Amino acid sequence: MDHHRALRTGFPEVVYGEGKTIPQLITITQNLASQSDQILVTRVTQDIFKEVQQVIPDLSFNEAAQSMYIDRNPGKKKDGVTIVSAGTADLPVAEEAALTAQMLGNHVERFIDIGVAGLHRLLDKLEALQKANVVVVVAGMEGALPSVVAGLIPSPVIAIPTSVGYGAHFDGLAPLLSMLNSCATGVAVVNIDNGFGGGFMAGIINQQTQ
């Protein structure tokens, strides 16, 4: 395990849980818990969490984010990160981003189910969005929401395409390409369903603002 990552980057190594066995996850989490007050393991089920928690009792589980974590020194969270989710089906990715940003010391405001199909819902939150230091926008289908948001606010937008959509959506490739081709300024794009990557980037940006 990379126990020096927190010294280099300010946050301990994060574990991608999918594909790992329960004994592997127990060993990895125990190892990290012995050296760090913060642990984040993404892409795990509740059944897996229950098995690991029997060995590591202070482990918690965020069902929406499908992630387990330990945060022994939560401290005061810094305002400035907002997560916007286009649809309810995008919520697991949005919550992974939110949990990640929170673990980095940020308070996260959430606006869920305000996609472009009902633009009035987005405009209703515009004043709050304009006050954010950084906005994470999570969307599947055609992936238009980040461009719309970025055209309305002064802060950077981290766009996360999701694998939510029908056939020609190609499991997230269509919104990924839409976001990469955004004509709005201030949009950066992470990989499909990469809530962790988007949340981490937003958390870093917010921590460096005044």
What is the 8-class DSSP label of residue 86?
S
C-alpha closest to that of 133 among 149, 153, 155: 155
Strands 67-71 and 38-42: antiparallel
- Close Cβ partners of 179 (under 8 Å, ≥ 6 residues apart): 143, 146, 147, 159, 161, 187, 189
Beta bridge partners of residue 67, listed in sequence order: 42, 62
Mean pLDDT of 158-175: 94
Strands of the sheet containing 106-112, edge to edge, are: 106-112, 78-85, 134-139, 157-161, 187-189
Angle subtended by helix axes 22-33 and 46-53, to nearest 10: 50
Q: What gap in Å lies between CA 177 and CA 45, rounded to an integer?
A: 30
Mean pLDDT of 116-140: 94
Task: Note whether 149 and 157 are within 8 A (CB).
Answer: yes
pLDDT at residue number 35: 83
pLDDT at residue number 7: 64
| Weakest mean pLDDT among 7-16, 95-104, 106-115, 143-152 | 7-16
Q: Please tell me the pTM assigned to this model.
A: 0.91
pLDDT at residue number 6: 66
pLDDT at residue number 34: 84
Which amino acid belongs to residue 162?
A: T
pLDDT at residue number 10: 73
Q: What is the DSSP string of 140-197?
A: -TT--HHHHHHTT-SS-EEEEE-S-S-GGGGGGHHHHHHHHT--STTEEE--TT-HHH
- Close Cβ partners of 203 (under 8 Å, ≥ 6 residues apart): 81, 100, 101, 103, 104, 105, 106
Strands 60-62 and 67-71: antiparallel
Task: Note whether 187 and 198 are within 8 A (CB).
Answer: no
* Local confidence band at 177 (pLDDT 50, 70, 90 cut-offs): very high
Q: What is the mean pLDDT of the chain?
A: 92
* Local confidence band at 109 (pLDDT 50, 70, 90 cut-offs): very high
pLDDT digit string, tens, across residues 2-42: 676 766 777 778 899 999 999 999 999 998 888 888 889 99
Pick the CATH number of 78-207 from 3.50.30.30, 3.40.50.1970, 3.40.630.10, 3.40.50.10420: 3.40.50.1970
Share of the chain above pLDDT 70, in %: 98
